[in-house]
A and B are shown apart, each in its own frame.
Chain A
Amino acid sequence: MGVATDTETVCHVPVAEGKSVQQTVDIVHKKLEQLGAVKHGSFCVDCETYHATGNASGQPSKLLYVMHNSETPLSCMALFEGGPCLIADANFDVLMVKLKSHFQNAKGHKVECRGSRYRYCDFLIKVGTVTMSSSARGISVEVEYCPCIVPGDCWNLMKEFMLSFLGTNVPELPSVFAAKPEGLFAPADCVDTMTQYLELFNKLRKLQISGSNVR
């Protein structure tokens, strides 16, 4: 499977009041199916957090996130907090075990997002449940408009599409795209998508700490 080279956005859908995560997911599924979207397999994104240890200079230790995406099953993404990112082969995980003395796995910080993929015309929609330490924390919706490679160009179009099944929860243009001069979704670059997932996970983690909007 090729790497997607098109416009994607990942957003967080708040759980409807008085409903469980699963019930809210079902509502989104139903809306998509009413629109005419067809189910097209499932997907999974996961993220492990590592602390950099043995920092000689005494700076606060940086976090390293190692992520996998079922859309690119042979690769593994490593993102430094606010720093460079790396796309490696899938056996990068084994290397991380060897680097135990430098990077320590933060246990219990593993985040996973699983759900179904839907196809509607040239749109690819992924509705997932975000789980942290085996409890459902929130819902993610990823919308991809495959034919267009410049996110800024088709943003209005995507917004209208998301409006049709997400109601008022439509996000703004993701900052990963806004920051780029041309706003081009670079070829063979799934990093933009993973950055968005990471932002979402961190947001949900903070929500958990403050204790609101989570069941």
Chain B
Amino acid sequence: MADAVSVGVNLDAFSHAISGIQALRSSVSRVFESLKDGMKNRDSLEGREKLFLAEFQDHLQAVNRDLSELERLSGLVGRPSESHPLHNSGLLSLDPVQDKTPLYSQLLQAYKWSNKLQYHAGLASSLLNQQSLKRSANQMGASAKRRPKVQPSTLVLPPHYVDDVISRIGRMFPDMNIELFRPNGTSAVLLVTLGKVLKAIVVMRSLFIDRTIVRGFNENIYSDDGKLDLWTKSQYQVFQKVTDHATTALLHYQLPQMPDVVVRSFMTWLRSYMKLFQASCQRCGRFLQEGLPPTWRDFRTLEASHDTCRM
């Protein structure tokens, strides 16, 4: 009940304050109105000046008066009460027409629910982090942990840090040429040229790999307007298959706390395609299977096998 009374007082002060603001606005606009009209329509030059100045002074004083009145009123309004656990939204409970707008009870439900969600998400994240580099464990759904929401802060790494990590990885693999572009804003796009075998475009979000596309060494990587072509898929079936596998690898390598390790593991894996056309399948021993060379590389051993042989 006490709450309701204080709110009532507050409301009174609010309405006074609002009319105070209105008064202030109208007096300010009067000042400009008279300034706009200037000194015309007066008889003598001296009289004109005198009258104008007096009028202007009056108007300014009115503004001053209204302003101090408003300041006094704002003191009365005071700060919103913070005693309620739900802050201002707690005031919803005062709404007398509960049946028509059950907002407050819904709000409480949502609050409880989000609390629970946060708790469970915390548990899940600590469980998942125990599985070193795996983004997708076999028995669990992959999509649920696709995005590392646990640490949104790693999404805003400074660009020069990303540059640094990439150039360090580039130095680790001399047979792999990594070029870094920033065609749109701060997100980096890597062009990886692997020997004379393939070219891969890797789109990054800070240090997380967003998507990748693999094309042949002799295929175009720039579109007609000279920009990197991030979308057209390779005309060769073998590189379409490799693109699919690279996307699988993106989902597999995952360690939110150390995104640079993920990028390095992915590059190590990609580098195993150096012998794409030279390696025979480790399972069946043949080179071709349905017209395609062994396009699959094991995530841990990097050994080559056909897509159909790896099962």
Number of A-B contacts (CB under 8 A): 57
B197: chain A residues within 8 A (beta carbon): 148, 150, 153
Do B278 and A156 touch (CB < 8 A)?
yes
Do B288 and A160 touch (CB < 8 A)?
yes
Interface residues of B in 281-311 (CB under 8 A from A): 286-288, 290-293
A193 at the interface (CB under 8 A from B): no
B 67-107 binary contact with A (CB < 8 Å = 1; else 0): 00000000000000000000000000000000000000000
Is chain B's binding surface mostly helix, strand, loop or mixed?
loop
A 176-198 binary contact with B (CB < 8 Å = 1; else 0): 00000000100100000000000
Do B218 and A120 touch (CB < 8 A)?
no
Closest to B235 in A: A146
A92 at the interface (CB under 8 A from B): no
B 168-208 binary contact with A (CB < 8 Å = 1; else 0): 00000000000000000000000000001100000000000
- Chain B's nearest CB lies how many Å from the CB of A176? 18
Do A187 and B218 touch (CB < 8 A)?
yes
- Chain B's nearest CB lies how many Å from the CB of A66? 28
B275: chain A residues within 8 A (beta carbon): 153
Give Cα A122 to B219, complex, Å. 14
Is chain A's binding surface mostly helix, strand, loop or mixed?
loop
Give Cα A24 to B169, complex, Å. 55
Binds A, one of B52-60, B121-129, B236-244: B236-244
Do B196 and A150 touch (CB < 8 A)?
yes
A148: chain B residues within 8 A (beta carbon): 197, 277
Interface residues of A in 99-144 (CB under 8 A from B): 120-123
Do B287 and A156 touch (CB < 8 A)?
yes
Do B218 and A6 touch (CB < 8 A)?
yes
- Chain B's nearest CB lies how many Å from the CB of A149? 5
Provide a sorted-by-A list of 6 A–B residue pairs whose CB atoms are within 8 angstroms.
Answer: A146-B216, A147-B238, A148-B197, A157-B287, A160-B286, A184-B196
Question: Could you list which residues of chain B lie within 8 angstroms of chain A, going by C-beta atoms?
Answer: 196-197, 216-218, 236-239, 275, 277-278, 280, 286-288, 290-293
